[in-house]
Each structure stands twice: as C-alpha cells, then as structure tokens.
C-alpha cells in the first residue's frame, strides 16, 4: 500500500490540529517564567529631520510605567546601516540610536510598562518636537538613480539587440504606461517580539522568515557575539516578505530587555505595521512593444521607476516578466529608482513578477488586440526557446502547454472576442487570460536528522514555516524516503540553535530545505543498509532490492525494523547531516515555474462594480510535494491577484510621508465574498535540473499573473483599459455610459 505520507500525497498539515485549536505558539504568545513587561512604540510624525526636544516626564510618572527609552538612554548600538558591506537583513538596524528621524513612523521612544493599557496610555504623554528637514516622499517617472543591483542579484539594465531600431521598424506598436500603488504585505499576525536578556545571552521570540540573518542583525546592531543570541520563531502568522528580516519592534524589545534586564514584549499595533515594517513601493512601468503584422513580437521594452528607501538597498525587479516570458529579437529592460524618506521598501510576495506581470501581461493583452489576435494565440506564437534576457536554455519550459490546457478547461473558445460584446442584463461579462512565470531558486541549506531506537525520526533545521506547509512537506520527504508513517517523524524548525537553512522566501523554501533533508535521509539509508550487511542473520538477504517500507528495511522477503537496526548499531540513535547547495545546473539553466490563469468577471454597467465570477489556473511547478498544501499556495496567490487588481492601495499623504489608510477598514484586502470558485490544475513534470527532489517554487507563482487575468477580463467585458491599478469602479464608471 502506498504510504499516505509519501511525497505528493495530499497529507493534512501536521501542524493543523495545533493551529485550529489555538495551541500553536506565535511570537507574542510564548510563556516565560515571569510575564514580560510590555512596550509601546512612539512614532515620529515627520518624514525627515531631527528630534529637537523630548519630554518623557509625564509618561515616566504615569501608572505602571517602568521606563521610557529614547535616544538619550537606550543601550549603545552600531549606527544604522553599518557595516555597509553587509546585506540589508544583517546590517545594523539601530533604533533610538540618535536624534535623527528616518521616516514618518520611525520610533522616537519606547514606553515600557507593566500592562499594555498602561504602556499605550503613557505613550500618548510623550511630547516630541522636531527640526524637520526637506523630505522626498513621492516617486514617479522622475526616478533616475541606477541601483547597483536588483533584488535577487539581477542587473538593473538588460539589453539585447537594438531595441529602438526594432521598435521603430515594427508594423504594430504599443507605447503605454502602467502604474501600481504602494502596497502592504498585511500578514495577519502583526510583527511581534519578546526579548529576554540576562546580561550575557539574548533570547528573542519573534516572527521572522530568515532565522540566520535575524541572529546576525541583532549581533551587528546590539554589539553582541552571535553565539549569545538565540532566535526562536516556530510559528509565523504570515510573512509575505515583510518578515524576511527583523523589524523595528524586535530591535526595540531587545533594547528594552537589555536596558532593564527583564523580559520585554513589543507587539506592533496594526497601525504601527504600516510604517514600522516594510511595504512595496509604487511603480511606474512604461512598456513598449513592437510586432510584425502576423503578431510576432520584434521588440520588448520595459522601463521601471520606483522608490527606494533611504539607507536601505532594495530595488524591485519589476522587469522580470518582460525579461523572461516572450521572445523578441530586441529587448530593453531598465530599472531606475528614486531615494525617498519613507518607511522601508522591501520584498512583498513575488517581488518583481507580481506587479511586473500586472502591467506587462496587461500590455501584452493590449498588443494582442492591436494585432487583431486572440490573446491566447498571441501568447503562443511568441513563446521563447531560450530565456530572452540571458540567452540561456530553460531547465524546462511548459508555459505553452499551460496556456493550451487552461484555455480548453476554462472554455476560452466560448468567448466572443469583441470587447463589450457579452451582456447579461446590467452585467457586462468578460474573459481574461495571463501567462504566469516565476523564477526558481535553490539556496544552500543544511539539516540534521536522528533515528532513535524506537524507530522515530527527528529532523532539525533553522528553517521556518510561514504557512507554506514546511512542517508537512518535510515530514513527507522523510517519511517517503525512509518508509515511515508520518506519526514517526517530527520536524523541528524555527530555532537558531538548529542547522543553518535557507529560511522562507523567494519560493525557495521547500526545494532547498527539502533537498537538504532528502540528502540526510538518503545517507541514513546507506548507513542502515551497512548495519544490516554486518548482521549474520541477513548475510543471504537480497540487498540489491533493498527498500524502506512500513518502518522496516525490506530485503526481499525479510523485514528488519529500523528500530532494530539502530539497536544493532550499538548506539541509542543514528545521526546524519544533510545539505544542498546550488550547482552547475543553476549556472547553466534558466529555471522557472509556469502557469496560465483565466478569469471571468462581470462589470455592472451602472455602478462599475467588478465581481470575479470564476478563476482557473493550470500550473507547472515541477514535482508537487503535497497536492493539498501546494494547491493552497496557488489559491492564496490568486486571491492576492484579485486583491491587487481590484482593491489594494496604500494612500500616501505626500506632505508628511505617511500612509493615511493604515488599517483594514481602509486598506482593502480581498474578503471571502470577493473570492469566487477557483479551479486549480497541476501539470506535474519533475524538473531534473531544479534540485534533487525535482520540485520548483510555488508560493509566488500564481500571484504573478492572476491580477492581469482579472484586468484583462475587465477590458474584455467593458472595452475600457485602466492602466492605473487598482481598477476601482470610479476609474471604470466614466467610460461605461
């Protein structure tokens, strides 16, 4: 019988019972021997300048207040941003280190009290006056700084062929500019940290995607030996990039704990999160496409303009979609940034492709109509045989098949190609499509496993599970390779004491941490076979056909329990280390996951209200490790796509560099009723180059294209092309009557 925990099986999440019963312990929920004090962040109300005066007298006298930390009394730190040769997740993130205000919302004080209510009340009593400085808060197409590199180490500029010439000679041309707004990751768990310091060691319970860099940033900021810093993050209430690194409350909690030598908890209030954790910057994307009369793309141009937060080197590779999806002889991709005095700008789910595809796949759709071609057919005639930007071969390429299969399953041929040709009463009906592509990354990872003499296996890594299903897929990998039931496998993650892993981000978590675990399990198999070979009673056994099933080493008709082999080894347990790192295949091949997404929308002719009626996606992401959790990842990305197309926008008050809609009543996320029936299909094709498991990234795949499919459906429904996301009803209404 097939192991129900085998790789690919839709095993229920192993941490599911804990999560549905409220027993999973998130950052702010760790119970210490003594209840921690509670800190509340006082935020700056100017975007740039210096603190002129701080009066903390009233706050200090307020009930329950133990300390008010400011730049005048906080523990010594390495200046913000040093050393500058460190990456952004590990260089100093000093808080309350000087009188300088870096952005609106930047912490100027931390009020620490016995209870949350007391801390919050006293925070309102802190008086701050400022010497404001000139601040840059907005970005448009005036961005003219060239970043050293884009996120993921990509070059800011890529050119192939002579774009200007190819474009000017093209029979059909398109020159359009799309804009996407500032956006928030808005993980449901606000950033939260409890810090405990005994004068020697710092323990930090937090919510962070990358454990290794979290240790480093604390050591680098707080002048501590990394060996004296322990970071724990076993359960994380969503990250979406906003928790890749540690953020303000973590540093502040540590400062409080070090100052008082008592545990301090700082939970960002939801309103804090919008400024004290990173957001995605707004983009201006100019897209120029040139094609011959038969719809073959000759020139692809993508120019991106985005903000970059002062002192924080993150630039989003918005051109990723334009660089990788379609073939054209000439390619121009350029990224410019403008330094702004704004809260941190960093990765948000699928940096580059998510908002890049929103614009680029919309422009591709425009071009299909301009060439008088079906949008699916137009995409199909422009498939690349090598990666357009690098000229490298693809490790595998399955976009065309995803498009064909998706079109058939969706009933694309039922569509009248003419925009605004399908009406049901007041409802204008439209179908839209978008290609989906997302780079596949492998990151060095290690792990350690231990098989005990009761036949149970435990694996450790400082990996995290941010809701992606890491605990579950790692359980399956070990269970599958060693022939164990899921109940015999425990996965221990989220602790800096465990072997260094890739962490969660960039859709590399499952493939990287999973391949390290696979390596360890394969080595353990060899070890177990070696032990068996030494057994006199097994000397005639069939070692050639050795397999692992049901907790046994199976040698022909002989079954030897793994627990027995451990005992025969003379040890209480067997321990093996595993690792993986990117090799030649990641140098030689351009690696991506693929998909095609289809949406049906209705637009109310009289109100402009858009409803998504159904969505369908066909995805090709190598070997699927768990069909249930993989589907959920794709489902989630499609929800984000709908949300990006229709709802999400951080609204900036340019005068003070502050987002004004810092809550969920005004920063709109898709809610349950916004989400229709969603159909998801896998094209399972293990990629022999991606990693030893053959899997590819999936967490950021569907968000890359889902929004454009919705936007393109709106165009098909209405004949109106809105190039300023989100497509709210006011932008449609004026064109509908």
- E-strand spans in 479-609? 489-492, 547-549, 552-555, 558-561, 573-580, 592-604
Q: Is 17 in the site for other proteins (CB under 8 A)?
A: yes
Which parts of 506-535 interact with other proteins (CB under 8 A)? none
Residue of 100, 228, 230, 269 that binds other proteins (CB under 8 A): 269
Residue 317: Cβ within 10 Å count: 24
Nearer to other proteins, 78 or 635 (CB): 635
Stretch that binds other proteins, among 7-15, 327-335, 563-571, 585-593 (CB under 8 A): 7-15
Residues 120-139, one symbol each (x = binds other proteins by CB under 8 A, - = not), give: -x------------------
User: What's the gap between Cα 588 and its chain centre?
Assistant: 25
- Of residues 120 and 586, the one with the C-beta less far from other proteins: 120
Residue 49, sorted as left (phi over 0), alpha (psi -120 to 50) or beta, turns out to be: left
The residue among 408 and 671 lying less far from other proteins, judged by its C-beta, is 671
Q: What track of x and - describes contact with other proteins for positions 649 through 688 (by CB under 8 A)?
A: --------------xxx---xxxxxxx-xx----------
Q: Could you say which residues in the range 38-57 bind other proteins, by CB under 8 A? A: 38
Tokens representing residue 295 in the block? 């719809």
Site membership for other proteins, residue 638 (CB under 8 A): yes
Applying CB under 8 A, does 351 fall inside the site for other proteins?
no
Q: Taking CB under 8 A as the criterion, which residues in 206-245 touch other proteins?
A: 235-240
CB-side neighbour CA atoms (13 Å) of 678: 24
Distance CA 486, CA 297 (A): 50
Q: Output the CA angle 511-617-424, nearest 5 degrees.
A: 160
* 3-class state of residue 674 by DSSP: helix
594-to-6, 539, 627, 681, 723 alpha-carbon distances in Å? 24, 49, 16, 12, 25
| Minimum distance from residue 654 beta carbon to other proteins (Å) | 25
* By the rule CB under 8 A, 637 interacts with other proteins: yes
**Min. distance of Cβ 259 from other proteins in angstroms?**
22
Q: Return the structure tokens found at 195.
A: 């810090």
Q: Among residues 272 and 450, whose Cβ is nearest to other proteins?
A: 272
Q: How many residues appear in the chain?
A: 737
Site string for other proteins, 93-112 (x = CB under 8 A): --------------------
Beta carbons of 490 and 223 less than 8 angstroms apart: no
Q: Where are the beta strands (DSSP E) in 405-564?
A: 423-424, 427-439, 445-452, 457-460, 489-492, 547-549, 552-555, 558-561
The pair of three-digit structure tokens given for residue 549, joined into one six-digit string:
């099933």
Catalytic residue among 196, 564, 648, 700: 700
Q: How many residues bind other proteins (CB under 8 A)?
A: 66
- Among residues 1, 2, 22, 570, the one that binds other proteins under rule CB under 8 A: 22
Tell me how far, at minimum, the Cβ of 320 lies from other proteins, in Å.
22
Cβ proximity to other proteins: between 399 and 624 the closer is 624
- Asked if 261 and 112 touch (Cβ cutoff 8 Å), the reply is no
Q: How far apart are CA 570 and CA 585, in angstroms?
A: 40
Residue selected from 2, 31, 584, 730 as contacting other proteins according to rule CB under 8 A: 31
| Measured distance between the N- and C-terminal CA atoms of the chain, rounded to whole angstroms | 63
**Among 628, 684, 686, 719, which residue sits at the site for other proteins (rule: CB under 8 A)?**
628
Please choose, out of 10-18, 249-257, 277-285, 723-731, the segment that lies near other proteins by the rule CB under 8 A. Answer: 10-18
Give yes or no for a contact between 692 and 395, defined as CB atoms under 8 angstroms apart. no
Q: Per-residue x/- mask for other proteins, residues 561 to 590, rule CB under 8 A?
A: ------------------------------
Should residue 629 be labelled a site residue for other proteins when binding is judged by CB under 8 A? yes
What is the token pair recorded at 722? 């809105």
CB of 659 to other proteins, least distance (A): 15
Euclidean distance between CA atoms 451 and 479, whole angstroms: 12
21 vs 200 by CB, closer to other proteins? 21
Q: How far is the CB of 187 from other proteins (least distance, A)?
A: 6
Q: Closest approach of Cβ 466 to other proteins, in Å? A: 6
Determine which residue in the list 25, 45, 159, 661 makes contact with other proteins, applying CB under 8 A. Answer: 25
Query: Rounded to whole angstroms, how far apart are CA atoms 183 and 155?
Result: 24
Helix 703-718 and helix 353-370, axial crossing angle in degrees, nearest 10: 30
Residues 467-506: x where in contact with other proteins by CB under 8 A, - otherwise, as a string: xxx-------------------------------------
When the beta carbons of 23 and 146 are compared against other proteins, the nearer one is 23
Q: Let me know: does 698 contact 633? Beta carbons within 8 Å.
A: yes
CB-based burial, 166-197: b 16+ in 10 Å, e otherwise: bbeebebbbebbbbbbbbbbbbebbbbbbbbb
Q: What is the closest distance, in whole angstroms, from the C-beta atom of residue 618 to other proteins in the complex?
A: 17
Q: Is residue 558 involved in binding other proteins (CB under 8 A)?
A: no
For the record, the structure tokens of 570 come out as 């003379």
Minimum CB–partner distance for residue 39 and other proteins (Å) = 13
Q: How far is CA 601 from CA 34, 368, 407, 409, in A?
A: 54, 19, 16, 17
- The structure tokens listed for 426 are 């007041």
Region at 98 (left for phi over 0; alpha for psi -120 to 50; beta for the rest): beta
What residues numbered 408-437 form the site for other proteins, per CB under 8 A? none
**Quick check: is 700 catalytic?**
yes
Question: Residue 647 has which token pair?
Answer: 């709802």
Please identify, using beta-carbon distances, which residue of 240 and 305 lies nearer to other proteins.
Answer: 240
* Cα dist from 47 to 132, 144, 343, whole Å: 8, 21, 9
Residue 517 CB, shortest distance to other proteins, in Å, is 21
Tokens at 592, concatenated: 């991506």
> Angle 481-482-484 (CA atoms, 0-180°, nearest 5)?
115
Of positions 3, 5, 8, 26, contacts other proteins by CB under 8 A: 26
Instruction: Please select the residue that binds other proteins; options are 56, 62, 70, 118, rule is CB under 8 A.
Output: 118
Closest CB 119 distance from other proteins, rounded Å: 11
Q: How far apart are CA 164 and CA 290, in angstroms?
A: 10
Task: Provide the CA 691 distance to its chain's centre, in angstroms.
Answer: 20
| Residues near 227 by beta carbon (within 8 Å), at least 6 away in sequence | none
Are 333 and 157 spatial neighbours (Cβ–Cβ below 8 Å)?
Answer: yes
**Is residue 277 at the binding interface for other proteins, with CB under 8 A as the rule?**
no
Cα–Cα distance, 287 to 266 (Å, whole number): 44
Segment near other proteins (CB under 8 A); pick from 168-176, 385-393, 636-644, 681-689: 636-644
Separation of alpha carbons 586 and 145, rounded Å: 30
Question: Binding string to other proteins for residues 447 to 466, with x set by CB under 8 A, is what?
Answer: -------------------x
Q: Which of 4, 20, 292, 391 binds other proteins (CB under 8 A)?
A: 20
Residue range at the interface with other proteins (CB under 8 A); choices 9-17, 423-431, 516-524, 588-596: 9-17
Show the binding pattern over residues 160-189: x = contacts other proteins (CB under 8 A), - = does not. Answer: -------------------------xxxxx
Binding positions for other proteins, rule: CB under 8 A: 12-13, 15-26, 28-29, 31, 35, 38, 115-118, 121, 185-190, 235-240, 267, 269-270, 466-469, 628-629, 631-633, 635-640, 663-665, 669-675, 677-678
Catalytic residues: 700
């Amino acid at each position: 019988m097939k192991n129900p925990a085998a790789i690919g099986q839709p095993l229920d999440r192993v941490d599911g019972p804990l999560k549905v019963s409220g027993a999973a312990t998130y950052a702010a929920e760790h119970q210490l021997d003594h209840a921690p004090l509670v800190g509340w962040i006082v935020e700056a109300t100017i975007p740039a300048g210096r603190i002129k005066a701080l009066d903390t007298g009233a706050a200090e006298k307020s009930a329950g207040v133990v300390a008010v930390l400011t730049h005048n009394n906080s523990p010594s730190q390495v200046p913000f941003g040093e050393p500058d040769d460190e990456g952004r997740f590990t260089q100093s993130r000093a808080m309350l280190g000087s009188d300088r205000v870096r952005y609106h919302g930047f912490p100027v004080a931390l009020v620490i009290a016995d209870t949350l209510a007391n801390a919050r009340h006293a925070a309102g009593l802190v008086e701050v006056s400022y010497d404001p400085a000139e601040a840059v808060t907005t970005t448009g197409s005036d961005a003219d700084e060239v970043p050293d590199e884009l996120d993921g180490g990509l070059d800011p500029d890529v050119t192939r062929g002579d774009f200007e010439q190819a474009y000017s000679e093209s029979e059909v041309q398109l020159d359009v500019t799309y804009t996407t707004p500032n956006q928030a990751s808005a993980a449901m768990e606000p950033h939260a940290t409890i810090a405990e310091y005994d004068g020697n060691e710092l323990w930090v319970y937090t919510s962070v995607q990358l454990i290794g860099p979290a240790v480093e940033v604390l050591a680098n900021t707080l002048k501590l030996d990394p060996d004296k810093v322990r970071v724990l993050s076993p359960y994380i209430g969503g990250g979406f990039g906003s928790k890749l690194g540690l953020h303000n409350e973590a540093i502040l909690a540590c400062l409080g704990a070090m100052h008082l030598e008592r545990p301090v908890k700082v939970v960002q209030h939801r309103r804090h999160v919008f400024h004290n954790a990173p957001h995605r910057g707004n983009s201006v994307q100019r897209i120029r496409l040139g094609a011959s009369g038969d719809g073959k793309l000759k020139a692809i141009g993508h120019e991106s303009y985005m903000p970059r937060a002062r002192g924080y080197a993150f630039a989003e590779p918005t051109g990723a979609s334009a660089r990788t999806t379609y073939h054209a002889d000439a390619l121009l991709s350029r990224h410019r940034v403008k330094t702004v005095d704004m809260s941190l700008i960093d990765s948000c789910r699928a940096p580059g492709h998510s908002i890049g595809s929103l614009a680029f796949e919309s422009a591709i759709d425009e071009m299909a109509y301009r060439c008088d071609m079906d949008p699916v057919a137009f995409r199909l005639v422009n498939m690349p045989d090598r990666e357009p930007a690098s000229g490298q071969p693809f490790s595998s390429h399955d976009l065309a098949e995803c498009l064909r299969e998706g079109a058939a399953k969706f009933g694309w041929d039922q569509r009248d190609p003419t925009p605004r040709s399908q009406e049901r009463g007041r409802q204008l009906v439209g179908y839209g499509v978008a290609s989906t592509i997302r780079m596949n990354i492998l990151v060095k990872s290690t792990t350690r496993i231990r098989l005990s003499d009761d036949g149970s296996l435990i694996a450790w890594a400082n990996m995290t599970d941010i809701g992606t299903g890491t605990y579950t897929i790692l359980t399956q990998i070990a269970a599958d390779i060693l022939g164990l039931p899921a109940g015999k496998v425990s996965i221990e993650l989220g602790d800096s004491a465990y072997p260094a892993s890739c962490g969660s981000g960039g859709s590399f978590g499952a493939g990287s941490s999973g391949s390290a675990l696979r390596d360890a399990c394969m080595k353990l198999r060899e070890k177990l076979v070696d032990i068996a070979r030494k057994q006199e009673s097994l000397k005639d056994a069939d070692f050639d056909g050795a397999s692992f099933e049901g907790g046994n080493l199976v040698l022909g008709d002989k079954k030897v329990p793994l627990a027995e082999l451990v005992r025969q080894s003379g040890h209480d347990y067997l321990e093996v280390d595993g690792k993986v790192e990117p090799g030649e295949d990641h140098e030689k091949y351009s690696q991506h996951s693929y998909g095609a997404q289809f949406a049906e929308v209705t637009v109310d002719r009289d109100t402009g209200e858009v409803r998504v009626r159904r969505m369908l996606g066909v995805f090709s992401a190598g070997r699927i490790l768990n069909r249930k959790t993989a589907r959920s990842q794709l489902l989630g990305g499609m929800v984000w796509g709908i949300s990006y197309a229709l709802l999400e926008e951080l609204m900036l008050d340019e005068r003070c560099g502050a987002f004004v809609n810092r809550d969920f009543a005004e920063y709109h996320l898709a809610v349950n009723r916004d989400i229709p029936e969603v159909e998801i299909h896998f094209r399972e094709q293990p990629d022999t180059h991606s990693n030893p498991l053959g899997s590819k990234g999936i967490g950021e795949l569907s968000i890359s294209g889902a929004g454009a499919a919705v936007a393109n459906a709106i165009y098909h429904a209405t004949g109106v092309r809105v190039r300023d996301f989100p497509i709210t009803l006011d932008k449609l209404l004026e064109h509908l009557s």
